[in-house]
Copies of this chain bind each other. A is one copy, B any other.
């Protein structure tokens, strides 16, 4: 039955993510953006978004530029042995599955860039991925190059973004399938991000299960939290095979390239991988999280989940 709902939703929103060309980009057309994408809760990639928003982020591909601008800023960096943070992993120490959280270290931005480049030094995989509005709070000078908001989205959602995050990493780091209670505009500045997307209704297919929360220590060994805390999470990664998903339509795969922006509607499930660009620059992305007074699909999604647990 939930599979039918899942299929019916695809009839409404399609089975592929629309790639909107610059001339159709709803810049300055908040009503069009709301009507076409927000109302039906339909993701889309806006090509040429960075250029249309007149960002001055092209020098970011140049590490020296970034170091000069913000090299001394303190940033929060997530370290894991393998790039899997906030993920269900098998802990060799305890012999069981745990929900692994990264070791978080505060360091100068220049040091982070060096750690990301110095792949062979055994210090684990660094990923600038804090979601504490990291761009505004840790690297505010860079906001001058992009913007404190996305004007057409601020008009559409009726208030400025609640958080602006910056993400810098390479192909070693992935994000496991999860969802956020925010409307999301996700801009790729350098490199490539690949998203595996499922609509909010589809959480029943993901084999969610609970595991004890654990965190990597400085030596990248896992410590299970004491007292024990169970986290319900999804065992699906961006590179999981189709068989990892329960019955239903396949996830939508969408690649977001440098200069493009993804609109990811609130509550959509997403797993993310990334790649450096051909010159070896890491992947840099910025996302704007907009709150909404109300997420209009929430009651339905919540209802479907209750059904899953009962059935």
Contacts and interface: CB of A to CB of B under 8 A. Distances in A.
Contact of A35 (B8, B32, B34, B306): B34
Interface in A276-311: 292-294, 296-300, 302-304, 306-307, 310
Q: Binding site of A, secondary structure by majority: helix, strand, loop or mixed? A: helix
Nearest to A30: B31
A273 B31 CA distance: 34
13 contacts: A5-B299, A8-B302, A30-B31, A34-B38, A35-B38, A35-B292, A35-B293, A36-B158, A36-B293, A39-B292, A296-B296, A296-B297, A303-B304
Contacts of A296: 12, 39-41, 296-297
Nearest to A8: B299
Contacts of A158: 31-32, 35-36
Interface string A1-36: 110110011011100000000000000001110111
Contacts of A11: 299
A60 interface: no
A294 to B, nearest CB: 5
Q: Name, among A34, A158, A292, A306, the residue most crowded by chain B CB atoms within 10 Å (CB to CB).
A: A34
Contacts of A64: none
A156 interface: yes
How many copies altogether?
A: 2
Contacts of A306: 1, 4
A40 B5 contact: no
Contacts of A9: 299
Contacts of A1: 303, 306-307, 310
A225 interface: no
A286 B302 CA distance: 37
A40 B8 contact: no
Contact of A155 (B2, B31, B307): B31
A1 B309 CA distance: 12
A262 B69 CA distance: 54
A70 to B, nearest CB: 34
A245 interface: no
A55 interface: no
B8 A303 contact: yes
Nearest to A199: B299
A27 to B, nearest CB: 13
Contact of A5 (B4, B8, B13, B300): B300
